[in-house]
Structures are given as C-alpha cells and as structure tokens.
Amino acid sequence: MLVMNNINKTFQTGNIQTHALNNFNLTVNEGDFVSVTGPSGSGKTTFLNIAGLLETYTSGEFTLDGKDVGQLNDNGRSRMRNEKIGFVFQGFNLIPDLNLFDNVDVPLRYRGFDAKERRRRIEENLERVGLASRMKHLPSQLSGGQQQRVAIARALATEPRFLLADEPTGNLDSQMAQGVMTLLEEINQQGTTIIMVTHDLELAMRASRTIQVKDGRVSELDVVAEKVSA
Amino acid sequence: MFNYYLRLARISILKHWGLSLLMILAIGLGIGATMTTVTVNYLMSANPIPHKSEQLYYVQLDSWDVNDPFDEGQNPPDQLTYTDSTNLMKAKKAFRQNVQAQAYAVIEPNDPEILPMIVNARANSADFFAMFDVPFIYGNAWSNQADDNKELVVVLNKETNEKIFGGKNSVGESIRIDGNVFQVVGVIDHWQPKPRFYDITTGAFNETEEIFVPFNLIAEEKVRRSGNTNCWKPSGDGFEAFLASECIWTQFWVELKTEQDKDDYLNFLNAYVEEQKQYGRFLRPIDNRLSTVTQWLENQEVVADDARMMMTMSFMFLVVCLLNTVGLLLAKFLGKAPEIGLRQALGASKSTLFFQYIIEAGCIGIAGGLLGLFFAFWGLIGIETLYGDYMQNLATLDFNMMLLAIAISFFATIIAGIYPTWRACKVQPSHQLKSQ
C-alpha cells in the first residue's frame, strides 16, 4: 500500500548538504499501525512529510495506493492528500478564526461534497471524538486534548486510507495523551492505516509495528528486538 | 466554493480589522483622488450629442485683421460678425442653420405676487431646437416664419415655467419681457448638455439658459445681447453701426447630413468670402472651417491641460497607494503562512489557495472602492467650492463613474494582490506545519 524504495532526501543550505533520508526503505500494509521512533534529526518528520506528500524527495521510488507519487503534479498531490491521507500534528494546527464545525469542514470543502454530506460527516466525526456539543466553539475555548481530538475528527472526516500523526501527544499531559492514543487505536481497529511519529517509546510500543529511524534509514529490527525482550 | 471564499474573506478582514482598514483607507484615498479628477475629465471630454455630433458643424470665417491675425494665425476667429451670420442665414444652404448669441432679459410676471426677474437668455434661430435635440414638455419651437417676421415668441425652460406659471402648460400665455409682450410657444424639459457645446465662448460648463428668443429680435432691440464681443477695428457710433461692424459676437452652426453636403457647404463659404473680398473685407487668406462638435470642443481646449495633468498625478497617487497595499497584503498573507500550509496539507492546491486569497484582495478592493466613492464625492464638492459656478455641472458622480470607481478599485487591488498571494502560496507546507 505504501512502498518506499531507496528514498533519498537531501537539503542544501548554502554549501552544506544534509542527507535527511538515505536509501530509506519501508512498506506499510493496509490496516497497519506503525509507530516511528528515533532520535531528533534522524529523519522521522522528513519521512512523514514525504509520506504525506507535503515534501518531494530527491531520488528513489514511492508508490501510494499503487500510484507513483513522483509522477503527480501539484494538483494531483493535493487531490491525493485530500482523498487518501489524514494528518494529525503535534501543534494541533486548527485554524484559530474558525469554529470546530468550520475547522472539520476545511478538507471536505476541498473534496467538493455538498452541504448535506459535509454536515453529516462533520457531526458524525465530532460525535466520534466526543465534541459534538461544542461545534460552535473556537479552538481557543478548548483544552489541548480537546483540540487534538478536533484535529483527529478533521483528519477522519474525509475517510482517509492513511492517518499520519506527527507527535500527536507531544503537547499533551499523560492523561490526555492516553485518551488520544486510545482514540487512535480505535480508529486503527476500524480499518484506517496509521503511521505515527513519536518520541514516547511507551506509546510507540502500543502500535502493531514499530520502526526506528536512524541517520535517515529504517532500523526496524532493533526496536522489535527491544519490544520482545521487554 | 466562491461563497465559501467570500465567507473566509469576511472572517479574515474582520479578524485583522486594523490591517484591513489601513488597506481599505489606502485604496480609498487613491480611488477618491483618481475618481475626482477622472470625473471632471470625463465630463469635460464627453460627447454631449453623440448620435449626431458628426453632422453638426461650427462655422468659422477669418474676417480678422490682416496685420494682426486672430490667435496668431493658428485659428480663425471663434465667432462671426453679425453681417456674416445673417448673410449665411439668408442663404439657407444647409439642411439646418442656427445663428445665436447670449442675451439677458428682465421678465415681469403677470402675477403681481411674483417679483420681476433677470434671466439668462439665448437669442437663436428656430432650427436651434431641432439641431440640438432640445426636449420639449409643452408646445414646440417657433417657426422659421416667426424668425423672418421677427415675432415676439419665447420658449421657457422648465424651471422658469414653474416660477412664472406654476409648472402648468403655458403655451399660448403671454409674458412681458423687457417691456414687450411675448407669447410662449414652448416649454423645454431639463436640458443640460455637458459640455454645453453649442456656446463654448461663454463657458462650456455654464447652465443652459432660462429663456430662448428669436435672434432677429436683437437687431430690433427687443432683446439685449450679452456674451463675448471682440473687435479689431472701431465699430462706429450707434447700434446700427455696431451690427454692421467687424466685431464678432455671434455663433453659427449648421447641420449637414453627408460628407458631400459638408464639401458643398465649405465651397459655398469659400465663394461667400471671395465675394466679400470684393467689398474690401476678408483681407487675410481664406481660412474657412467647419468643425464637428468633437473637433470644436477639442479646438477650444474644453479639457484643460491642468485637468489632464491633475488626472495623471492622481493616477500616480493611486499607484503609490496600491504599492502600499501590496506591502500590507504581503504582511497579512505571509502572516497566514501556517494556515496556508495547513490548507495545503488538507487538500488545497496552490491554485485553489491563490483563488481564495485573490478573492480576499478583491473584497478589500471593493471596500476601498466604496470608500473611494465617498472621498470622490467630497472631493468633487471641494472642487465645486473651490472653482464655483464653472465646475457646478462637472462635480457630479454619475452611475457610470461609480461603476468605474468600483471596477478600477477591484481590478487594481487584484493586481496589487497577485504578488503577495503568489508569495504566500509558495510557502512550504511542511515547514509551516512543524513550526506552528
């Protein structure tokens, strides 16, 4: 479903070249819950940005749902992001000027659903994350955990095949983090493939599969071994 | 999506109201200054009678001093002598012809309750009304026979008819003008060509006259002429001598249907001048001219050079205002980079985002345009106050000008918004999402 073969990503800053991903290989199957760990600067977020079509790669092959991502133009990438990928960010990334209803509405607008269908999906997903009664509230009126739930509702509203989460619990206290994690597990059990970047090994271990990124490469076996010994 | 973008624009404008207000103010000032000068120029340069301006010709004959040519020889005199005007009228060589001069009169209303009033008058021939498409409410123009017979007839304008007759149909009624009893033959509707092309010599933007009387009554001294009079040699003593003099104070218009008619009429004028030379007149080389309405307005420089310069400067001011708006839009849109990055992540393409933010720029432009109209309105009032009566009929914003103001403002802001929007849409979403 998501296949990356020898993906390289190089950043050029002046005369300095930084290899963020170095022959990165990964296959993620439908229904997987993959957690991605690794030290800061190892390339986790770069991998997630490339997987989410937010960044291009320097070389290699990347197919998503059978489509060669390298062949897509800006419109094609936007359409694929909208149709197949949901994002959950560490900083929630809600639009502060819009209420919860309108925040969840954003990706549905770009999909082109009619008003009735949009309303159904918004209400259904806010209900799912337990915030249906607050849909007219602004993000600033919610706690961090609630904001992250809204972000998840927004990500799920388009019924994506993949949910990409970048440190989704990074800004939350442990109780809120547990709540969000439980929600992600439920979502995964309902069939959505999840790739989650996290520093928290305890949360990472709750995923069905854990990989470690180190120096821009995948070192899956180390972490699996650690998981087994634990 | 368009309505959605409009809603987002409204939210954004209200949320960042200070910045938005600055932009609207900058555009409003630019549009206000521009529309003030454009309106004045537009009305100055408008074709006041577009459907027949190419068939109406102003007649010029060079009867001036051979030793001191009129306008340094660049143009023949801008008016005709009484002798020439009346000769051309008698010849009746054109489809329609009109001799005219400005006049004034004192009306003594029949109603003793109404005080006598001094009115501006136009002394003209019967064809004046048909040539210039003057609209009548009641009655008609007087006939050519009335001209020839020097009948005491008068056409009133609507306002004068209201003052004297309470607005009723006064055709057939009598009024006393300068001690003589005139019969009302017609009442015209409001008529204010801009510019008042038929007599530039007494002001292209003055109001039309309150009453119209036959030109031939001037010679009978039943009507007192006024307006500009220029002489290049003494006119002699007495009114008869003045009428026979080389002083110019009449204007002469002809209506000619075709180019052939025009050529024929010019030939006639040349033959007339040749004939007059035999009497010792027209000592300068023949320089007879027939100018269409637009040519005549241009020749008389109705659109003043300083008005054109002011318009150019106001457009430059608008450009400065727009450059300021570019800077403010850039600051605003780059401040929205995180939202733009997020929207990209959620499926918006660059073109979609571009459209969204251009619509926001357009909304600011329309708001600026409306404010600009308000400024233009006060600007025109200021010009009217500054220049007085001369500008009275120019300092008005008509519907076309209002539409133009909104259109200029909208498109100018769209253009001003292109670069900031393009820059904003160039943001790398991954960087913005991480930095939020």
The continuous run of DSSP H or E covering B255 comes out as: strand B248-255
Max distance between CA atoms of chain B, in angstroms, equals 99
Q: Do B436 and A82 touch (CB under 8 A)?
A: no
A chain contacts of residue B347, beta-carbon cutoff 8 Å? 78-79, 81-83, 107, 110-111, 158
d(CA B33, CA B315): 8
**Cα B143 to chain center, whole Å?**
30
Per-residue model confidence (pLDDT) at position B130: 96
CB A164 within 8 A of CB A132: no
Mean pLDDT of all residues in A148-170:
88
Core vs surface per residue A11-30: b (16+ CB within 10 A) or e: eeeeeeeebbbeebebebee
Domain ranges in chain B are 2-47+304-435, 62-287
Q: Are B11 and A54 in contact (CB < 8 Å)?
A: no
Only one residue has tokens 């000032």, namely: B29
Question: For chain A, first and last CA: distance in Å?
Answer: 30
Per-residue CA distances from A108 to A193, A217, B343 (Å): 20, 35, 11
Percent of chain A with pLDDT over 70: 95
Residues within 8 A of A (CB atoms), B 345-384 only: 345-352
DSSP B379-403: HHHHHHHHHGGGGTTTS---HHHHH
| Whole-number Cα distances in Å, A69 to A57, A152, A163 | 10, 25, 17
Q: What gap in Å lies between CA A136 and CA A142, rounded to an integer?
A: 11
pLDDT at B155: 97
* A95–B342 C-beta distance less than 8 A: yes
All residue ranges of chain B with pLDDT < 50 are 435-436
Q: Is pLDDT above 60 for A229?
A: no
The torsion of the CA quartet B379, B385, B390, B396, rounded to 10 degrees, works out to 40
CA–CA dist A169, A191 (Å, integer): 21
Does the pLDDT of residue A17 top 80, yes or no? yes
Residues in chain B: 436
Distances in Å between the alpha carbon of B154 and those of B110, B137, B240? Answer: 15, 14, 24
A45 touches chain B (CB under 8 A): yes
Strands A59-64 and A162-166, bridge-based pairing: unpaired
Task: Give the number of C-alpha atoms closer than 13 A to the C-alpha of residue B429, restricted to the C-beta side.
Answer: 29
User: Between chains, do A110 and B348 touch, taking CB under 8 Å as contact?
Assistant: yes
Please give the interface size between A and B, counted as residue pairs whose CB atoms are below 8 Å apart: 67
Asked if the Cβ–Cβ distance from B428 to A97 is below 8 Å, we say no
Check whether A230 has a pLDDT greater than 50: no
Q: Which of A54, A75, A109 sits opposite B430 (nearest CB)?
A: A54
The share of chain A scoring above pLDDT 90, in percent, equals 31
Alpha-carbon gap, residue B426 to B390, rounded angstroms: 54
Q: Find the CATH number of the domain harbouring A40.
A: 3.40.50.300
Torsion of CA B178, B180, B185, B189, to 10 degrees: 10
CA atoms within 13 A on the CB side of A20: 20
Q: For residue A73, is pLDDT > 90? A: no
A89 CB within 8 Å of a chain B CB? yes
C-alpha A163/C-alpha A182 separation (Å) is 15
Asked whether A125 and A156 are in contact (CB, 8 A), the reply is yes
Measured distance CA(A43)–CA(A89) in Å, rounded:
16
> Tokens at residue A105, please?
């509405």
Nearest to B209 by CA among B123, B149, B285: B123
Look up residue B88 and give its amino acid: L
Identity of the residue in B15, B350, B428 whose CB atom sits nearest the CB atom of A74: B350
Q: Among residues B212, B123, B207, B111, which one has the least CA distance to residue B163?
A: B111
Best interface-test mutation with A: which of B346, B351, B427, B434 has the largest number of A CBs within 10 A?
A: B346
To which residue do tokens 């770069």 refer?
Answer: A46
Residue A225 has pLDDT above 60, yes or no: no
How far, in Å, CA of B277 to CA of B84, rounded? 12
User: Positive or negative CA dihedral for B8, B14, B15, B16?
Assistant: positive
Q: Is A171 on the interface with B (CB under 8 A)?
A: no
d(C-alpha A45, C-alpha A167), whole Å? 9
Whether the predicted pLDDT of A224 surpasses 70: no
How far is it, in rounded angstroms, from Cα A123 to Cα A134?
10
What confidence score (pLDDT) does residue B399 get?
Answer: 83
Q: Which residues of B touch A45 (CB under 8 A)?
A: 430, 434
Q: What's residue B416's pLDDT?
A: 84
Whether omega for the bond prior to residue B195 falls within 30 degrees of 0, making it cis, is yes
3 state DSSP class of B356: helix
A 10 A CB-CB count for A228 gives 7
Which position has the token pair 């936007």?
Answer: A78
Domains in chain A, number:
1
Distance from CA of B358 to the nearest CA of A (A): 17
Contact B106, B116 (CB under 8 A): yes
pLDDT tens digits, one per residue of A88-109: 888 888 999 899 999 999 999 9
* Mutation site for B-interface testing, chosen from A54, A57, A121 by largest number of B Cβ within 10 Å: A54
Helix (H) or strand (E) holding B30: helix B17-45
Supply the DSSP string of A82-106, one letter for each residue.
Answer: HHHEEEE-TT----TTS-HHHHHHH
Beta bridge partners of A61: A5
Q: Which of B1, B344, B433 has the CB atom closest to A89's CB atom? A: B433
Looking at residue A133, its amino acid is S
pLDDT at B29: 93
Q: Which residues, numbered 332 to 351 in chain B, qualify as contacts with chain A under a Cβ-Cβ cut-off of 8 Å?
A: 338-339, 342-351
How many other β-carbons are positioned within 10 Å of the β-carbon of residue B328? 21
DSSP states along B192-238: --SS-GGG-TT-TTSPPPSEEEETHHHHTTSSEE-S--B-SS---SH
Residue A223 pLDDT exceeds 60: no
* Of residues A145 and B62, more confidently modeled: B62
Token couple for B248: 């110019």
Which residue among A81, A93, A98 sits closest to B436, beta carbon to beta carbon? A93
Angle between helical axes of A74-84 and B337-345 (0-180°, round to 10): 70
In the chain, the amino acid numbered A167 is: E
Nearest to A82 among B342, B346, B433 (CB): B346
Instruction: Kindly list the distances between the CA atom of residue B156 and the CA atoms of A170, B97, B117, B166, in Å, as whole numbers in the listed order.
Output: 88, 21, 13, 12
Q: Give yes or no for a contact between A33 and A188, defined as CB atoms under 8 angstroms apart.
A: yes
Calpha distance B89→B281 (Å, rounded): 19
Question: What pLDDT was estimated at residue B46?
Answer: 78
Closest CA to B311 of B404, B196, B199, B417: B404
pLDDT in tens, B215-229: 999 999 999 999 999
- Tokens read off for A42: 């190892």
Reported as a single tens digit per residue, the pLDDT across B42-71 is 777 778 898 999 999 999 999 999 899 998
